[in-house]
């Protein structure tokens, strides 16, 4: 009986050593340093320089030129911050999805949601994702879809936002001011 117990302990000790060696080798092979701190696994990350892609930054610049100081531009906003599923069990579908831009007033009331559509939006998975976003926002917030361009004209973006979301831009306010000025001069 003592002999069986000694052999069993020896076998368990050998299995433990082999398991530890395998675990160390697996970490080295993946080249991803993992550090254990209690039950949390800490994984190294690399720094991203920009929150938005180059195309998104170009559009953001045009939005800044078009909008008055009554509006704020938010980027990479989780869909669940804009509309929550009625059944909380579906929250995970909305957590993972982000929209490119959200326009709010200065009190952060949502005025419009903007999605920048590049060629990837023709791929099957992107089409499914876009359909999900369209349905989630329908009847809740105006969704403005803008096709990617090399250059975004602030006047064109402003006209689109006014048409689809009722947002008055710097350009529409200038037109109103010019009409009022011309009208008051009797012309």
- Going from the C-alpha of 178 to that of each of 30, 86, 174, 187, the distances in angstroms are 65, 47, 6, 11
Alpha carbon 183 to its chain centroid, in Å, reads 45
Fold assignment, 54-170: Endonuclease; Chain A (3.40.960)
Compute the C-alpha angle 32/34/35, nearest 5°. Answer: 155
The distance in angstroms from the start CA to the end CA of the chain is: 113
Does the pLDDT at position 146 exceed 90?
yes
| pTM value surpassing 0.75 | no
Tell me the per-residue pLDDT of 42-99, one tens digit each, with 9 for 90 and over: 999 999 999 999 999 999 999 999 999 999 999 999 999 999 999 998 898 888 899 9
Bridge partner list, 34: 43
């Amino acid at each position: 009986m003592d002999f069986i117990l000694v052999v069993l302990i020896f076998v368990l000790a050998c299995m433990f050593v082999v398991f530890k060696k395998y675990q160390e080798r697996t970490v080295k092979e993946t080249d991803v340093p993992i550090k254990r701190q209690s039950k949390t696994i800490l994984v190294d990350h690399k720094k991203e320089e920009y929150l938005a892609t180059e195309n998104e930054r170009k559009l953001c610049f045009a939005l800044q030129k078009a909008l008055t100081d009554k509006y704020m531009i938010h980027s990479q906003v989780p869909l669940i911050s804009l509309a929550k599923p009625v059944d909380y069990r579906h929250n995970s579908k909305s957590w993972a999805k982000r929209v490119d831009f959200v326009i709010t007033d200065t009190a952060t009331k949502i005025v419009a949601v903007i999605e920048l559509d590049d060629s990837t939006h023709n791929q099957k998975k992107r089409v499914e994702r876009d359909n999900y976003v369209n349905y989630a926002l329908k009847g809740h917030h105006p969704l403005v879809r803008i096709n990617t361009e090399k250059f975004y004209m602030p006047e064109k973006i402003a006209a689109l936002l006014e048409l689809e979301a009722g947002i008055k831009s710097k350009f529409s306010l200038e037109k109103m001011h010019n009409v009022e000025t011309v009208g008051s001069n009797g012309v």
